[in-house]
Structure 1
Amino acid sequence: MKVLLVSPVFHGYWSAFASALEALDLDVAVHCYDTAGRVGNALAHRYESSGVADRVRGTATAATIAALADADPDAVLVVKGDFLGADWWDALAASRARSALWLYDELSRMTYDDATLGSVGRVFSYSPDDTRTLRARGLDADVLPDGFDSLTAFTPRPSERVSFVGSRYPARARLLHVLADAGEPVEAYGREWSRNPWDVLRTRQWRSAGVPAHRDIDRSTYYGVMAGSVATLNIHGDGHDGLSMRTYEAPGVGALQLVDRPDVAQHYDVGTETLVFRSDDELVELVRRARRDPVWASGIREAGRRRTLAEHTLVHRMRKVRAAWA
């Protein structure tokens, strides 16, 4: 089966999705629809109703339609895809290809209507709530959680710090300060935390978060950071029903994950495969226990990695997508 993967660049995850499909003996062509230029894409997202946004989206849509014609695939997997215009969805529906759409964000943050979603063979969402909503509206929808890229090699980077990798939100900065104020060393990775002049200019984060910070790092590197840290934080905050990639990546690399979502229990055994904190005090205590009881921490790391490799890799996720095309 020849598959066209249509994906945003999104921190290079397109390559992980493609590799997972290829691991299932599928012939994969890739089109990243938001590569027209960082400045144009940033303006299109920031000024969604502007003429600039319309032109950027129009160019991206035309290029994606051309990629569909060039690939002539048996099946198409669109990841997120709400940046693309109606002409793309019409072209996809008119093609002979089977199709699937994978949403890794909440519907409330996107601009889809039921007619567009209904034109796709199967809609997958990382959000159980959104999946129930779509089904109630008569759409063919199923839950497809995020997963761990088990095909990317990494080298652990030992550190006595608690790590956080991801976007800078006030709730995340606050929790890093909670740990730092309790005497626990922390570090954050990502352009919004970085004090590099270019990062400050493009993110407009004029004030430092007040914690040790580093620039963006690629997936292999941050896998090593998480694996080598005394513990790694996974902070979702409010407004997210689905569980993030990090939920599976952290235990997948053998990290000691501290996550703020008790519903992670639907995928991992809390206390033996991953750890959940429900308060500031509990977060501090879990980190301190990890330091004073490395055997306990190691057991959780090993069990979480085994569970992830058995059930929660991107290959597992793509197997479910392939089954929808059967």
Structure 2
Amino acid sequence: MVQPSLLLVSPVFYGYWTTIASSLKKLGYEVHTHLYDAPGTLVERVRNKALHDLPERLRPAAFESIVTDKAVAKLREVNPEIVLVVKGDQLGQQWWEAVQNSGARHATWMYDELRRMRYSDQDFDLRMLGPIASYSPADVAELNAQGYEAIEVPLAFDADLPIAPAQEPNISFVGARYEGREHMLKQLHDAGLPVKAFGKQWSRHWWDVARTRQFKTSGLETGRDLDRSHAYGVMASSPATLNIHGDQDGFTMRTFEAPGVGGLQIIDRPDVSRYYDVGEEVLVYESIEELIDLCKRVLVEPQWASRIRQAGQKRTLAEHTFDQRIQALESLWK
């Protein structure tokens, strides 16, 4: 049986493209990949940072053109039947025109809100993206109301990634250092709870301090930036791991990763009940007092905590892996 050829066009984004490609192969596709923001030479790394960080009006047009031209060249080389783009907002108009002209069926999967992506910075016809899958329920509702074809596909747990063994006795937080998060973790610390924050902005290693310019210590126990495999190990082995959202509509990857690795997730979003049974598979807090109480109970009732871990992991492996998400995405081009 001939396998349909599929071109996966994705950002590097912590290597999630590897499990997306693996899940596609399991469904019988001949998968080719193109990482449009993969680091290369020094010039290419500077270009990629400019595309990510500069406001639209300050981005040199030539930078976008180089990224776009490389993607178009890959499209012509592969000549796929199907194109799946992940995010893709660094790619210029010429890319989307080339995809349309190729005759390939195509779709776009977004792991961020539209308002945070470059599509909102320019006069761009979203119909060029093909059918859209988004982790944002609000975006999906708005797109459908405007006549676009869009479905909600949440993020997922990468069940293929090995978990690096770890022994973490502290309640863990893995993520960026924001003022609100730091204040909350300090309150846990002041309540006598063992807390440790991981990430380059928290780290006191001299190199991390130099590159982030975070000269002021948080006063917390901290660790360095973790790759996903080691982050999985920390979350799995800590008494509980915290998932703190910001101004987001959809749920982060961590929402599914923490229980997926067998960790006990404590999250700040009651609407996680869409995916997990609160109190049975995941814990939710809505105030710092409630969070302190939950953390204390986790430490003094390990059997109760273990039951939640096991139930959360079972639910995740059954419903929230990339294999399940790719099956949902498949409806966009079939």
TM-score (norm 1): 0.95
Matched, 1:289 2:297: yes
- Whether 1:72 aligns to 2:79 is yes
- Counterpart of 2:261 (choices 253, 256, 260) is 253
Moved more, 111-120 or 219-228: 111-120
Q: Which structure 1 segments of 5+ residues have no match?
A: none
1:192 and 2:169 are equivalent in the alignment: no
* d(CA) in 1 for partners of 2:253, 2:272: 12
Match of 1:175 in 2: 184
Give the counterpart of 1:319 among 308, 314, 327. 327
- Tell me the CA shift for residue 209 of structure 1: 2.7
Q: Which amino acid aligns with 1:5?
A: L
Q: What residue number does 2:140 align with?
A: 131
Residue 237 of structure 2 corresponds to residue 234 of structure 1? no
Q: Is the 8 A contact 1:80 1:102 kept in 2?
A: yes
Taking a change above 3 Å as real, the CA distance of residues 58 and 48 of structure 1, as seen in their structure-2 partners, is farther
Question: CA-to-partner distance for each residue in 1:138-181, whole Å, 9 max, x for gaps?
Answer: 00001010000011121442322011111221121122111111
| Contact 1:47–1:53 under 8 Å retained in 2 | no
SS of the aligned residue for 2:24 comes to helix
Tell whether the 8 Å contact from 2:51 to 2:90 is kept in structure 1 after alignment.
no
Distance 1:158 1:187 in 2: 13
Deviations 1:9-28 (A, max 9, x none): 11121212222222222221
Deviation at 1:130, TM superposition (A): 0.6
Secondary structure at 1:205 match in 2 = coil
1:44–1:50 Cα contact (<8 Å) kept = no
Over the matched positions of the two proteins, sequence identity in percent amounts to 49
Partner of 2:34: 31
Contact 1:44 1:54 in 2 (8 A): no
Checking the alignment, whether the CA contact within 8 Å between 1:179 and 1:284 is kept in structure 2 is: yes
Q: Which segment drifts farther, 257-266 or 115-124?
A: 115-124
Corresponding residue number in structure 2 for 1:153: 162
In the TM superposition, 1:197-216 aligns within 5 A as: 197-216=206-225
> Could you tell me how far 1:58 is from its partner in structure 2?
1.5
**Once the 2 structures are TM-superposed, how far is the Cα of residue 212 of structure 1 from its aligned partner?**
2.0
CA drift at 1:43: 2.5
Worse-matched range after superposition: 256-265 or 159-168? 159-168
Instruction: Return the alpha-carbon distance in structure 1 between the equivalents of residues 176 and 60 of structure 2.
Output: 24
Matched, 1:54 2:61: yes
Alpha-carbon offset, residue 201 of structure 1: 3.4
Local SS of the residue matching 1:81: coil
Cα pair distance change 1:135/1:44, threshold 3 Å: same
Indicate the larger mover: 153-162 or 99-108.
153-162
> Does residue 48 of structure 2 align to residue 41 of structure 1?
yes
Give the letter aligned to residue 23 of structure 2: A
- Give the Cα–Cα distance (whole angstroms) in 1 for the partners of residues 207 and 15 of structure 2: 20
User: Displacement, 1:188?
Assistant: 1.6
- Residues in 2 aligned to 1:96 and 1:284: alpha-carbon distance in whole angstroms: 56
Residue type of the alignment partner of 1:64: A
Q: Count the aligned residue pairs.
A: 325
8 Å CA contact 1:6–1:32 kept in 2: the answer is: yes
Give, as a single letter, the amino acid of the residue that structure 2 aligns with 1:152. Answer: L
Q: Distance in 2 between matches of 1:65 and 1:204?
A: 38
State the one-letter code of the partner of 2:77: D
Task: Quote the Cα distance in structure 1 between the aligned partners of 2:94 and 2:166.
Answer: 46
List structure 1 runs of 4+ shifted beyond 6 angstroms: none
Separation (CA, whole Å) in 2 of partners of 1:133 and 1:206: 42
151-160 or 174-183, which deviates more? 151-160
Q: Residue type of the partner of 2:50?
A: L
In the alignment, which residue of structure 1 is the partner of 2:9? 6
TM-score under structure 2 length normalisation: 0.92
- Taking the TM superposition and a 5 Å limit, the aligned residue runs for 1:211-222 are 211-222=220-231
SS of the residue aligned with 1:112?
helix
Are 2:312 and 1:309 aligned? no
Provide the aligned C-alpha RMSD in A. Answer: 1.7
Rounded to whole Å, the distance in 2 between the matches of 1:162 and 1:143 is 32
Residue 15 of structure 1 is matched in structure 2 by 18
Matched position secondary structure for 2:139: helix
Query: 1:204, 1:61 → 2: CA distance?
Result: 33
